[in-house]
A and B are shown apart, each in its own frame.
Chain A
Amino acid sequence: MNLGRAKSILIIAFTGLNIFLGYHLFWPDFGRLTNVAVTAEDIQEAETILNENNYFLETPLDRSVQVGDFLTVAPAVGFQGDILQLFIKKGARIVEAENATAYKVDNKTAYVYPGGLIRITFEPALEFSDDGNELAEEQLKDKLESFISEELIMPEGLVYDRMEVTDSEMLVLNYHRSLEGTPIFASNLKAYLGSGVLDLIEISWLDPVERVPPREMEVISATDALTNLVDFLGPSDEPLGIKGIELGYFSAEYEAEKWEIPPVWRIQLGENIYHYVNAFTGNIEDDTFMPEQLP
């Protein structure tokens, strides 16, 4: 046998061996090599489950493989202090308030709570209309943002989220903090408007302390998050559209020094219902229970 033939046999043998090794290495995660976490079959399966339970997917899904990490946050004490300084500079006086420190100047009162929440009330309420005509969402948003930057302090990383209508017919403009493009849903600002007037601004602002890189992991897919939510909620009484699904950070509010918050899939059902699915565990994060009976 000449050397050339031996080489050919070896080439065939090693090609076979490499195919075998490659199959064992990559086949179970072949989808991941192409950076796709959700296949067309996954979406079809998820849709079947959703439809059987009276939920209907009305938004495109992010099909790429995504990683997430825990984010350590703390109440934005600095921002809270800046707001108070602003009020004090304007000649605010301290007024009595339950569980909060309150500073009043002109028609504005700022209530500062130990957990970091700031509530700014307006009495009388602030005119927020165009000569008596109601403003459209975009106009309300622009007017509110100019008011915050001129009269208050614009929180860092403020991003507009959505407008919703409460049961008592109030309009609520929702903002949240964004960190390098990722929303921190737990850090938010809400403005409550009555008929053409601004009644209240609630700011629950959090400072990102650090990301926890050693704990960076691949998050569950959007389809898994949806099926977990449906499993948790059970069938819907009436057809309900899934209007949005977005990756961000969220946790319940704690009166704590600092805490870690997980990546979540925020799922919008209908117009105003939002649920948060932990993007690592798949658990529903809407109302986290904390043990607190120990001294």
Chain B
Amino acid sequence: MIETIKSILLLILVGLSLLLTYQLWYGQVPAQVLEQDIYERIVVEQPRELERVVEPKKIALHNEEELYVYKKSTPDFGEMWGLLSIALQQISLDALIDEDDLPLDSRHLLSYYMQPKLPVGEDQPWLNEVLYSEIEKVDLYTVNDSFRLVLSGSNNKFSLLLPPRKAEQFATLLDNIQADKKLASAFLTEELLADHGFSQLSIVEPLYVPVETVFMSEYNIRPETLDQDLILKTFFVDYSMARVIEEKEGGLIYTDGERGLRLTDTGLEYSSPRLEEGQTTSAYSEALVTSSSLISYHGGWPDSLRLKSLELSGWGDTTHYSAEWQAYLDGYPILISQSIRALFNDNGLIHYARSFFEVENPIIPENGLTSAASWNEALEKALSKYQEGFPDRASSIILKDIYLGYAITTSQSGYTGKPVWVITINNEQFILSAFELEPLREEDLL
């Protein structure tokens, strides 16, 4: 009898041990543990290194009497910047020269307008043997047979003599620049403005305008397609905690009560306002790297996008960096009311908005490409609009910006990239269609 009980007990114990082993191996984890261990591995774009984060806003090529301007996504822009960037990474302290003034026979070759500023000096990829500074402009000159770089910051300026091999590379690049892709421009001065009848205007920033006829076309464009599931995972570590709000207009909002992510047909917007109350202790170059991580992580950094600005702002003890990116098409900036931008501080990402459009195809009329109105015609129109709108502000009129670009407009058939003149007088921005110089209606602009 005892033996039978022992056998039954043994069988039960063996069975129980098998069951417990199975449970331990494959069993369900209690809900609360599941919440903590739900971190999911996701694959996102690799952030760019600092060397690839900063690019010039524009590069001016001075060639004898002519001047050419290059912007992001124009041919040769990448090569011009790449060569300078590598040169600044490789040049040693020996290249520094004391002479502040350039000889009279020096010839100006290139001007790089750095926006955002280029961090150089200790711990930076560029000129890591000099004292730290932030460079706003780099000019390349040829003096006799040598090439000289002049780097200017807000408080400092210094010159470097290019080693012969680097000088040779620049000479080769300048010889090989695609002549047919060049567009002659003029450096806008108050004298030049006066010559065209704009003597009432003054200038505070270096501006360039095309002096040749510019042919442009409209483009069919479409909003980029993002993997919504992946995007969701990049903003919410545990997105099972996020709940969905379906907007009447079709947008979707995900929120966990502390942060919100809104997805629409044209982009996304994320906010975590409780992080606003925080400090920013990271240095400028660290913030550049952070901005790269943020955009790469949350949707990626398309090639046609350039970091436009990185600024530290805030009030009282609350500070944050604000980064903004600009998209380009054929070297012309694409205008959009909600561009890609990120606000962040030591607490993390406070706000991120992303609206990016991909180009489908140009809309070429049957009679070929259309020429854009000249800069002076556009300026005349904008100035008259300004004077109509602000008749009492006749004095102290500053032309702050003038450039050709593409504005994204909406219609029933979809989205169109429309060539426009963008002119900023004092703080008023005028967007005129590049062909007819008609102001674009606010409601048509995205």
- In the bound complex, residues from chain A placing their C-beta under 8 Å from that of B259 are 289
Contact of A281 among B17, B33, B258 (CB under 8 A): B258
| A260: Cβ under 8 A from any B Cβ | yes
Contacts of B240 in A (CB 8 A): 215, 217
Question: Are B20 and A284 in contact, with the CB atoms below 8 A?
Answer: no
Residues of A close to B258: CB separation below 8 A: 281, 283
**Interchain CA distance A91-B20 in the complex, whole Å:** 72
Give chain B nearest CB distance to A282 CB in angstroms.
9
Question: Are B446 and A256 in contact, CB atoms less than 8 angstroms apart?
Answer: no
Query: Is B14 touching A14 in the complex (CB atoms < 8 A)?
Result: yes
- Given A25-B24, A262-B243: A18 in contact with B13 (beta carbons within 8 A): yes
Q: Is A89 an interface residue (CB 8 A)?
A: no
Contact A291 B262 (CB under 8 A): yes
**Judging by beta carbons under 8 Å apart, are B35 and A217 in contact?**
yes
What A residues does B9 contact at CB under 8 A? Answer: 11
Chain A residue contacts of B24, Cβ below 8 A: 21, 24-25
Say yes or no: B17 contacts A21, CB within 8 Å: yes
Is B165's beta carbon under 8 Å from chain A? Answer: no
Write the chain B residue with the least CB distance to A220. B32
A257: shortest Cβ distance to chain B, in Å? 4
Report how far A289 CA is from B260 CA in the complex, Å. Answer: 7
Which of B2, B20, B245, B355 touches A21 (beta carbons < 8 Å)?
Answer: B20
Closest chain B CB from A188 CB (angstroms): 19
Cβ proximity bits B9-29 to A, threshold 8 Å, 1 near / 0 not: 110011011001101100100
- Cα–Cα, bound, A18→B256 (Å): 42
Comparing A1-9, A99-107, A138-146, A236-244, the segment that makes contact with chain B is: A1-9
Q: How far is the CB of A240 from chain B (nearest CB, A)?
A: 23
Is there contact, CB below 8 Å, between A291 and B245? no
Q: Of all chain A residues, which has the CB nearest B263?
A: A294
Q: Given the interface contacts A15-B13, A32-B30, does A70 sit within 8 Å of B243 by beta carbon?
A: yes
- Please, how many angstroms separate the alpha-carbon atoms of A185 and B273 in the complex? 24
Which residues, 278 to 328 on B, are CB-close (under 8 Å) to A? none
Known contacts A11-B6, A217-B31, A262-B243, A255 near B270 by CB under 8 Å: no
**B30 cross-chain contacts in A, Cβ below 8 A:** 29, 32, 218
Confirm or deny: B3 has a beta carbon within 8 angstroms of a beta carbon on chain A.
Answer: yes
Find out whether the CB atom of B255 lies under 8 angstroms from the CB atom of A4.
no
B185 located at the interface, meaning its Cβ lies under 8 Å from any Cβ of chain A in the complex: no
A7 pairs with B10, CB closer than 8 A: yes
Query: Shortest beta-carbon distance, A6 to chain B, in Å?
Result: 10
CB nearest neighbor in B for A17: B17
- What is the bound-complex CA distance between A231 and B41, given in angstroms? 31
- Asked if A258 CB lies within 8 Å of chain B CBs, one says yes
Given the known inter-chain contacts A21-B17, A294-B338, please indicate yes or no for A7 contacting B271, CB distance below 8 A: no
Query: In whole angstroms, what is the CA distance A24 to B6 when docked?
Result: 26
Complex alpha-carbon distance, A85 and B9, angstroms: 73
CA distance A81 to B292 in the complex (A): 52
Q: Are B262 and A294 in contact, CB atoms less than 8 angstroms apart?
A: yes
Is A61 close to B, CB under 8 A? no
Contact A18 to B337, CB < 8 A, known contacts A262-B243, A281-B257: no
Interface string of B99-140 (1 = CB under 8 A from A): 000000000000000000000000000000000000000000
Name the segment of B48-56, B152-160, B246-254 touching the other chain: B246-254
Cβ of A291 and Cβ of B270 under 8 Å apart?
Answer: yes
Chain A residues, Cβ within 8 Å of B3:
3-4, 7
Residues from chain A with Cβ under 8 Å of B243 in the complex: 70, 251, 259-262
Given contacts A21-B17, A256-B247, A289-B260, contact A11 B10 (CB under 8 A): yes
Would you call A25 and B23 a contact (CB within 8 A)?
yes
Interface pair A290/B446, CB less than 8 Å apart = no
Pairwise interchain contact B353-A295, C-beta atoms closer than 8 A: no
Cβ–Cβ contact B257 & A11, under 8 A: no
* Bound form: Cα–Cα A28–B33 in Å: 10
Q: Does B267 contact A (CB under 8 A)?
A: yes
A10 at the interface (CB under 8 A from B): yes
Contact B10 A254 (CB under 8 A): no
The answer to whether residues A256 and B20 also contact, given A11-B6, A11-B9, A288-B255 and a CB cut-off of 8 A, is no
Q: Which residues of A contact B257 (CB under 8 A)?
A: 251, 262, 278, 281, 283-285, 288
Please report the C-alpha to C-alpha distance between residue A146 and residue B255 in the assembled complex, in whole angstroms.
39
Given A14-B10, A29-B30, A294-B269, are A22 and B20 also a contact pair (CB < 8 Å)?
A: yes
Would you call B268 an interface residue if the criterion is a C-beta within 8 Å of the partner chain's C-beta atoms? yes
Nearest opposing residue in chain A for B266, CB measure: A295
CA distance A257 to B269 in the complex (A): 19
| Chain A residues, Cβ within 8 Å of B27 | 25
Q: A17-B17, A218-B31 are in contact. Are A290 and B253 (CB under 8 A)?
A: yes
A10-B10, A283-B258, A288-B260 as given contacts; A294 in contact with B17, CB under 8 Å = no
Compute how far the CA of A105 lies from the CA of B270 in the bound complex, rounded to whole angstroms: 45
Residue B95, interface by CB 8 Å: no
Query: B7 near A: Cβ within 8 Å?
Result: yes
A7 CB contacts on chain B under 8 angstroms: 3, 6-7, 10
A291 cross-chain contacts in B, Cβ below 8 A: 253, 260-262, 269-271, 351, 353
Contact of A165 with B by CB under 8 A: no
Chain B neighbourhood of A98, CB < 8 A: none
Report, nearest first, the 9 A-B pairs whose CB atoms are least far apart.
A218-B31, A260-B243, A14-B13, A259-B245, A21-B20, A283-B257, A291-B269, A291-B271, A7-B6
Task: Jot down 11 A-B pairs with beta carbons below 8 A, ordered by A.
Answer: A7-B3, A7-B7, A254-B253, A256-B247, A278-B257, A288-B255, A289-B273, A291-B253, A291-B260, A291-B261, A292-B262
Could you list 20 further interchain pairs (A-B, Cβ under 8 angstroms) beyond the known A21-B21, A295-B264? A7-B10, A10-B13, A14-B13, A14-B14, A14-B16, A24-B24, A217-B34, A218-B30, A218-B31, A251-B257, A254-B253, A257-B248, A258-B246, A259-B245, A283-B258, A288-B255, A289-B273, A290-B271, A294-B264, A294-B266
